[in-house]
């Protein structure tokens, strides 16, 4: 048996080289700030600014949909000018937009500021995907799995911090969260200057602005990836409502669901993701994720018909299976998303992938609340069958993509 020293294992998880550790640190700092703000932002706008919840929702929806427009152009710019440059600029714009939120006093101002933030976030997200490829060298999917571990950990820590502001429930406490998030964007940008200023890939200048949109296998995968992303709001949106309104489970199970989901993703993401790197791995992992959701959704459906402690146990077991599905799905997305994209156009391809995912997330609340909650237990069965059907397409997408890539890229 080969024994691995704990220090070596920690070093691998923390990054294989200096550039990986720098990007992990930058992402961790940024996600701590996101966790501080996201968990309490709605409360700030409704309780402190005094906007109706419907207006807050409308402003954020408009901003989110408008932001989708910047993903592919931002990624194309990252391919031509270098991903670090575009990402630093995007982070600077987000830091300014987040700081401007402290002056928001009405719906129009919130809509404008949130839209600027989302446009920068979409462009920066595409550049970030291209940066992961450059930093992760020949194993970007594995590096992305490591990175996601720290991203999840950062969000958890930030969310814990936001709890103190929510408990205080004062304007000053909420402003500290907003400015803390703004500072995280600025600090993230500064940390990125420790990375090399990666030059564009040689053929990037010849890359067409909309080349990704003409790549049919990748467009199909982006759409399927967005559809599979419906499982994310299941934990944050559906389960709290389901537990409180449709089951006899103790209310503390709502907190247990979040804790178990976060812990599983932090502890298992790298372990599972390290085995999913090639296109073939990604296709199979996408299918496995769908099958895991096909198991977890019926388990959740049963909780409506179970006594109190049985319901609690079923929810805990179901969310563990669901978390495994989330890890397999995200790892498949890394392997296929990076593997199908040509090296000279990673930015715009990651922008298209982000567009598909964000579109799915924008539609998810309306679809899930009307279909799943509207149909009750049967709705969970429909959701599980849908996610399994989407996941089953993974191997076919992988084979289609491999046939249409140059032989060297497909093998990589």
Q: pLDDT digits over 315-356, tens only?
A: 899 999 999 999 999 888 888 888 888 777 777 888 888 888
Between 112 and 61, the more confident residue is 112
Q: Which residues contact 151 (CB under 8 A, 6 or more apart)?
A: 27, 28, 31
Q: pLDDT digits over 41-99, tens only?
A: 777 787 777 878 777 777 877 888 888 887 878 777 877 888 888 889 999 999 999 99
Total Cβ atoms within 10 A of residue 14: 14
Together in a domain, 217 and 94: no
Together in a domain, 153 and 295: no
**Ramachandran angles phi, psi of 116, nearest 5°:** -60, -45
Total Cβ atoms within 10 A of residue 191: 20
Together in a domain, 261 and 138: no
Together in a domain, 159 and 235: no
Between 104 and 297, the more confident residue is 297
Together in a domain, 167 and 225: no
Last residue of a domain, one of 175, 200, 225: 200
pLDDT at residue 410, as a whole number: 41
Residue 125 lies in a domain: yes
- On the question of pLDDT at 177 being above 90, the answer is no
Distance CA 409, CA 405 (A): 6
pLDDT band per the 50, 70, 90 thresholds, residue 150: confident
Q: pLDDT digits over 218-242, tens only?
A: 899 999 999 998 888 888 778 877 8
Residue 205 lies in a domain: no
Together in a domain, 89 and 169: yes
CATH number at residue 129: 1.20.1250.20
Together in a domain, 186 and 258: no
Residue 306 lies in a domain: yes
pLDDT, averaged across the chain: 81
Q: Among 15-29, 103-117, 145-159, 387-401, which range has the highest average pLDDT?
A: 387-401
pLDDT band per the 50, 70, 90 thresholds, residue 6: very low
Average pLDDT over residues 150-170: 77
Pick from 398, 385, 399, 361: nearest CA to 290: 385
Tokens found for residue 184? 């995280």
Query: In the chain, what percentage of residues exceed pLDDT 90?
Result: 17
Lowest mean pLDDT among 21-30, 100-109, 339-348: 339-348
Q: Print the domain residue range for 178.
A: 6-200
Residue 337 lies in a domain: yes
Total Cβ atoms within 10 A of residue 34: 18
pLDDT at residue 368, as a whole number: 82
* Total domains in the fold of the chain: 2
Residue 207 lies in a domain: no
Last residue of a domain, one of 173, 200, 227: 200
Residue 95 lies in a domain: yes
Q: Which residues of 341-361 are buried (b: 16+ CB within 10 A; e: fewer)?
A: bbbbbbbbbbbbbbbbbbbbe
Q: Which residues of 269-293 are buried (b: 16+ CB within 10 A; e: fewer)?
A: bbebbbebbbbbbbbbbbbbbbebb
Together in a domain, 266 and 404: yes
Together in a domain, 35 and 142: yes
Together in a domain, 261 and 393: yes
Give one word for 306, left, alpha or beta, with left for phi > 0 and alpha for psi -120 to 50: beta
Residue 281 lies in a domain: yes
Together in a domain, 184 and 221: no
Last residue of a domain, one of 142, 165, 200: 200
The residue to which tokens 């289609």 are assigned: 400
Q: pLDDT digits over 242-275, tens only?
A: 887 888 878 777 777 877 888 888 788 778 877 8
Q: Which residues of 199-234 are buried (b: 16+ CB within 10 A; e: fewer)?
A: ebbeebeebeeebbeebebbebbbbbbbbbbbbbbb
Residue 153 lies in a domain: yes
Together in a domain, 222 and 142: no
Distance CA 208, CA 204 (A): 9
pLDDT band per the 50, 70, 90 thresholds, residue 206: low
């Amino acid at each position: 048996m080969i024994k691995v020293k704990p220090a070596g294992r920690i070093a691998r998880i923390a990054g294989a080289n200096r550039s990986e550790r720098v990007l992990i640190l930058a992402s961790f700092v940024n996600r701590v700030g996101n966790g501080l703000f996201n968990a309490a932002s709605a409360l700030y706008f409704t309780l402190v600014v005094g906007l109706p919840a419907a207006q807050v929702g409308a402003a954020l929806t408009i901003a989110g949909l408008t932001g989708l427009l910047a993903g592919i152009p931002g990624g194309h710019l990252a391919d031509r000018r270098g991903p670090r440059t575009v990402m630093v600029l995007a982070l600077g714009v987000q830091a300014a937009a987040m700081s401007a939120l402290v002056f928001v006093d009405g719906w129009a101002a919130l809509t404008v500021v949130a839209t600027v933030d989302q446009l920068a976030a979409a462009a920066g997200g595409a550049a970030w995907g291209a940066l992961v490829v450059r930093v992760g060298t020949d194993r970007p999917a594995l590096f992305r799995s490591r990175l996601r571990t720290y991203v999840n950990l950062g969000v958890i820590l930030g969310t814990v911090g936001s709890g103190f502001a929510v408990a205080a429930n004062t304007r000053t406490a909420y402003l500290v969260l907003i400015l803390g998030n703004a500072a995280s964007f600025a600090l993230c940008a500064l940390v990125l200057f420790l990375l090399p200023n990666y030059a564009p890939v040689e053929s990037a200048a010849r890359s067409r602005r909309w080349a990704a949109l003409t790549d049919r296998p990748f467009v199909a995968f982006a759409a399927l990836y967005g559809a599979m992303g419906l499982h994310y709001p299941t934990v944050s949106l559906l389960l709290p409502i389901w537990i409180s309104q449709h089951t006899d489970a103790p209310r503390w199970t709502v907190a247990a669901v979040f804790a178990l989901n976060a812990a599983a993703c932090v502890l298992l993401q790298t372990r599972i993701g390290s085995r999913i790197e090639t296109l073939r791995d990604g296709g199979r992992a996408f299918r496995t994720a769908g099958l895991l959701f096909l198991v977890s959704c019926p388990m959740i459906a049963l909780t409506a018909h179970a006594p109190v402690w049985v319901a609690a146990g079923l929810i805990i077991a179901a969310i563990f299976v669901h978390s495994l599905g989330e890890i397999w799905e995200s790892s498949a997305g890394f392997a296929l998303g990076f593997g199908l994209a040509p090296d000279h156009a990673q930015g715009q391809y990651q922008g298209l992938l982000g567009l598909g995912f964000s579109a799915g997330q924008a539609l998810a609340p309306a679809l899930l609340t009307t279909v799943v909650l509207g149909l009750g237990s049967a709705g969970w069965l429909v959701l599980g069958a849908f996610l399994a059907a989407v996941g089953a397409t993974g191997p076919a997408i992988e084979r289609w993509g491999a046939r249409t890539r140059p032989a060297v890229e497909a093998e990589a």
